[in-house]
Amino acid sequence: MPRLIVRPPSPALADGELTHLDRVPVDAALATAQWTAYVGVFRERGWDVHELPRADEHPDGVFVEDAVVVFDDLAVLTRPGAASRRGEQATVAPALDGLGLTVARLGQGSLDGGDVLKIGRTVYVGRGGRTDDAGIAALRTLLAPRGLTVVSVPVTRVLHLKSAVTALPDGTVVGHLPLVDAPATFPAFLPVPEPEGNAVVVLDEGTVLMSASAPRTAALFRDRGLEVVTTPVTELEKLEGCVTCLSVRVR
């Protein structure tokens, strides 16, 4: 059974870090309702949901993917690039107990999980404002013995690599071209018509989850034969969040 690690939004969500977007009002109650609906998609499909305690002191804590990245049976606790987020791992680490995972900590540099895109045995890592060369080198050291290849990708137009691109079940990378620094890096790349269409979570080999804010992209994916599940995440998108960063998937 696939497992999901999530964290409810903090009441201070609106004070979260912003890099590429202007700050606009965030409805905390609506954000919580949208988060609940998001988690409900996984529950309805049989995922085992592990909910972390709400971290009121960490406005960005809901974006739990940035704190830990899972590769097969290895969980890597990251070193977030924003100093305000470096206390989040204290409550993430205990949640990994009992999941049958080997836990490692990044030894140096900075790295956000939102910068890590796994496709088969290749791990693309965004080099940008939150992840640096030392963090990428440290991750490469952890993953090389497991037969995983780490490829550094420039990220200058968005917060994280997965704010620009994600991958469909067949490995095709999708992204809105104005937000993608180096589309030629990927063996197969499909442009999508909306910026919110960049982010998909693979639920199974024939199904993806994505934001309800990108209906034209959803139609494009359905034309490719995929089942597409959509959910609204507008309040999280105001803080440079998306459907990928709201959870850690353990398959």
What integer pLDDT is reported at residue 107 of this predicted model? 84
- 130 annotated to a ligand binding site: yes
Q: Work out the percent of the chain whose per-residue pLDDT is above 70.
A: 100
Q: Which CATH superfamily is domain 3-250 in?
A: L-arginine/glycine Amidinotransferase; Chain A (3.75.10.10)
| 245 in catalytic set | yes
Helical H runs in 100-196? 133-143
Kindly indicate the confidence band of residue 41, based on its pLDDT and cuts at 50, 70 and 90.
Answer: very high
**Confidence class of residue 60 from pLDDT cuts 50, 70 and 90?**
very high
Order across the sheet with 68-71: list the strands. Answer: 68-71, 74-77, 102-105
pLDDT of residue 83: 87
- Report the pLDDT value the prediction gives residue 124, as an integer from 0 to 100: 98
Query: What pLDDT is recorded for position 98?
Result: 83
Predicted pLDDT at 116: 98
**What does the pLDDT look like over 144-192, one tens digit per residue?**
999 999 999 999 999 999 999 999 999 999 999 999 999 999 999 999 9
Active site residue 242: no
Q: Which candidate in 58, 176, 242, 245 is catalytic?
A: 245
Residue 139: per-residue pLDDT: 98
DSSP 197: G
If pLDDT is split at 50, 70 and 90, which confidence band does 27 have? very high
Q: Cα(183)–Cα(160) distance, rounded to whole angstroms?
A: 15
Is 60 annotated as belonging to a binding site? Answer: yes
In the chain, where are the structural domains located? 3-250
What is the tens place of the pLDDT at every residue in 81-102?
988 898 888 889 888 888 999 9
Average pLDDT estimate for 66-81: 95
Q: How far is it, in rounded angstroms, from Cα 3 to Cα 44?
A: 13
Specify the pLDDT at position 61. 95
Q: Is 18 annotated as a binding residue?
A: yes
Q: Which residues contact 243 (CB under 8 A, 6 or more apart)?
A: 38, 199, 200, 201, 209, 210, 211, 231, 233
